[in-house]
Each structure stands twice: as C-alpha cells, then as structure tokens.
Copies of this chain bind each other. A is one copy, B any other.
Amino acid sequence: MSAATDRPMRLGLFLQGAGHHVAGWRHPEAQFGGENLKLIQGIARTAEEGHFDLLFLADGLTSSADAHPSFVARIEPIALLSALAMGTKHLGLAATMSTTYTEPFHIARAFASLDHLSGGRAAWNAVTTSYARSSANFSRGDHPSHDDRYAIAEECIDVVRGLWDSFADDAFVKDKARGVYVEPDRVHTLNHEGRYFSVKGPLNASRPPQGHPIIIQAGSSLPGQRLAARTSEIVFTAQQTLVEGKAFRDGLRGFAVEAGRNPDHVMVLPGVCPVIGGTEAEAKALYAQLQGGIDPAAAILLLNDRLGHDVSGYDLDGPLPNLPESDQLQSRARLLTDLARRENLTLRELYYLVAGARGHRIVWGTPEQVADALEEWFVGGGSDGFNIMPPFFPTQFERFVGDVVPILRKRGLVRGEYVGNTLRENLGLPRPANQFFPD
C-alpha cells in the first residue's frame, strides 16, 4: 500500500438491474440487468477482473414500478448469487435479506448454503425493510415501528449466528466403519426463546466455510449504528460530504470499541455513483443527459420514499418544508434534509439530485478526477472503501474497472490481487470461533 494509508481501499459493486441513476436505463449504451443472467454474469466477471472485494445485491419485498425500474422485477438475491458463484472464484457475494419479513431459520440456511456453494464468499446485508408497504405482501399485520424493527433485527441476527454454530467444525466425521455420520456430541441445539423468536435448532447445515458469513448493515440511525457496531463487519452508508462521512465512521468505530470489538473489523463503505467521461466536458454532458432523462413524477415518488413523507403538494420551487421525523428511514431522511438546508436547494433541485442515485453521492469527471474524489474520502478517514454504484450497466462499470481502478492501483490504494480464498480472508478478518464449541 501507499504511504498514504496502511490498509487497502475496499471496493464493492452495488449491482442493480437497470443501473443506479433512475434514468440510466434510457442511455443508448444501457442494458437491462434485472433478470438478464448473461449480462449480470459479464458484470460479475468484470468486477473480479478489477479485484473487487464483493458484488452486492440490494433487495426489496415489493414491486415498485413507479419509483425506479430496478425495483420492478429482480431475481431473488440468494438464487442469483448462487448462480454467479459458479462463474467466479474470488468475488464476495453479498445479498440483502430482511430481518423483519424472513424467518431466522430461513436466513441462516440461505447464507450457509451460499457460503457452501461459493467456498466461503457469502455476505448478508441484514436490513430491517424500511418501506411500510412491504407488510401488505406478508399476511402478518402492520409494519413494525422503527424501534421494533431494530429490536427484532438484534434478536434475529443473534439467532442466525447461533444457528450457524449448530455444528462444531469437525462434527461430520462420516465414519463408514463405525456407521457414525455426525458426532452427536458435536451438535448444539439452540433452544432460543426470545421476545420475538422461538427457534429450537439445530440448523440443517454444517458450519459455513467462513464460520459465519460476513454481516453487512445498511441502516444509519442510532439503533442501526449500534446494531452494526455489535454485529457487522461492513456498513453501507450514504453520506454526501467528507465531514459527515468522517463523523459517521469515527462514531461507529467508537461504538465498536464500546461493544468490545476491534474497530478495524467494522468497515464503512459509502455508496458512490461515478459518472465517468473521457474528458471533464464529456462527463458533465453525460451527467446532464442522465438528469435530463428523469421523469419528474417518478423523481418525486423517490424523494417521498426517502423522506418518509409526501411532499408532492408543496411548491416545487420553494424550499424543503419542515417535516416531522419519519419512521421509515430516519438517518437517510436527515441526511437529505441537511443537504437541502446546507445547499439552499429548492424542492425541485432536491428531488432531481435524489433521483440521480437515490441520495447517494454522485461524482462526475474523468477517471483521474473520480480517483481523486475517492482517494480524498478514503485518506481523509471518511471511509474504508466504497460501494460503487454505476449509473447504468455495463459500459459505465467497465470504464470504472478499466480506467479508474488502474489509477487507484498505481497510487497504491487498492490491492492488485486476491490475498485469500474466502471473502473473510480477503478482507483480513478473522474466522469467528464457534460460540458453542470454542475449542
């Protein structure tokens, strides 16, 4: 690594069917990846050529045709990553699964399975599901409140980790002569009886190759940060400025220390949408073209979702109105509110900005300029790397890997090879001991 830093910049690819910019899919070069396996396989190979740490799939439990084309239809993440595991060797495979709408037994199995299939490359983005409309697909009454969702998540993650530890690493002796397939005293029955879950166990999966798949958290409210500090190895965020980013990361590292963990074992990866051109003018024109493709009706829906309030009745050329705190996405809403106040944005300006990358930072410029922007944040202590969100696929991502990554490598910021076999090894994280069989 360079003198600037003793740790490599981590890179995730946030893969999203129709690209991240809400109008990205309309670009002539854009292809549609939501259910297009061939395209996605090519993108995964590109990510691996760029030595990305992981490929990340977001997920939602509703079809939102009106908000963003990427959310209308998508292959279920575990299924898709199981398929992608077949054509890749080193790339980490991160899937989103909701702690609010999925049974911990199903979650534990899904990620244990992906970890087995991929030889130890699975990661779970544990989300609480912000959108209340999700509850309408699940027959179980109302969407729980923000606080309840996090209380459920805390317990759910503990149950999942307990289930991953159902078997000692050496439990499956498969001794043909003795007729012993699994050693009975190397199996742990969880017998969890908690506030939200009763789960007996054991899981019907041997211990995953990584011990525990990597856990990712993507909520930035205080309960979200506390959860991440206690349980997660990667945190996705959406800060807009280095000052915010650094404050967030410093705070999170502090919480991790309080939780008795090594703060270097919690990596913060803000989302960044790089709009890349051969020249600055080209990049600027591309950004303008993307913004010009935005459908104002869709943009306002996206903004409503992010704010957790309907602002469509307000004057579009006036300032953002004062809104009560949202129960949906507290931290994301606050970041947007801060941004609007700081930059004196009209509602129209704000929603055009949000529509771009759904509140994530957009960086447009030449490969050199994009590399500069990433380096500044990274070296400035605002992140441990980035979750790269190309405005559309595949060409913008190919440019990132072909043109930006080599610059980062020349500067000694990213590593030029995979250093381990599992995702955990590549990230320099220890394999957790089995809590029930610590030997």
Contact = CB atoms under 8 A, between A and B. Distances in A.
Interface stretch (A69-77, A319-327, A359-367): A69-77
A83 B113 CA distance: 11
Contacts of A136: 198-200
A51 to B, nearest CB: 23
Interface stretch (A177-185, A238-246, A282-290): A177-185
Nearest to A196: B139
Contacts of A373: none
A176 B102 contact: no
A25 to B, nearest CB: 7
B80 A79 contact: no
Interface in A1-31: 18, 23, 25-28, 30
Interface stretch (A104-112, A259-267, A418-426): A104-112
A202 interface: yes
Contact of A23 (B179, B187, B200): B179
A200 B64 CA distance: 13
Contact of A203 (B63, B80, B184): B63
Interface stretch (A166-174, A348-356, A396-404): A166-174
A61 B204 contact: yes
A381 interface: no
A199 B137 contact: yes
B69 A181 contact: yes
Nearest to A23: B179
A73 B172 contact: yes
A406 interface: no
Most buried by B among A80, A137, A293: A137
Interface in A78-129: 78-80, 82-83, 85-87, 101-103, 105-106, 109-110, 112-114, 116-117
Given A76-B109, A83-B83, A133-B200, 4 more contacts: A69-B181, A76-B78, A86-B86, A139-B196
9 contacts: A26-B176, A28-B176, A63-B204, A76-B109, A103-B137, A105-B138, A106-B106, A139-B196, A179-B295
Interface of A: 18, 23, 25-28, 30, 32, 35, 37, 60-63, 65-66, 69, 71-76, 78-80, 82-83, 85-87, 101-103, 105-106, 109-110, 112-114, 116-117, 133, 136-139, 166-167, 172, 174, 176, 179, 181-182, 184, 187, 196-206, 293, 295
